[in-house]
Amino acid sequence: MIARQWLVSGQVQGVGFRHHTKLAARRLDLVGWVRNLPDGRVACQAQGPLERVEELEAYLRRGPELAEVTLLEGRDVPVEPEPPVGAKRFVVLLD
């Protein structure tokens, strides 16, 4: 079990990035969150088995069809004993 957090730069707001990330993460049975940042980036955190977290990372590198990812920055974060933000699944955090 690992937890990883990413910052996604490029054309990633207004293109369904958060919604499609949520769908991808739920298919992978990960817990965590995704949200827009005021500076135009998207932040995401996911927790689960290494190979599934890496699959989500591969998705974040390309995003949905209308997105244009120019930079993906990721780092491992401590695994939380309870799912992130108290969720039992992957959620979109609203601004």
Cβ neighbours around 83 below 10 Å, total: 18
80 phi and psi angles, rounded to 5 deg: -90, 140
Residues in the chain: 95
CA distance 95 to 89: 19
Determine the residue type at 6.
W
Task: Classify burial at 50, counting beta carbons within 10 Å of its beta carbon; exposed 0-12, middle 13-18, buried 19 or more.
Answer: exposed
**Catalytic positions:** 18, 36
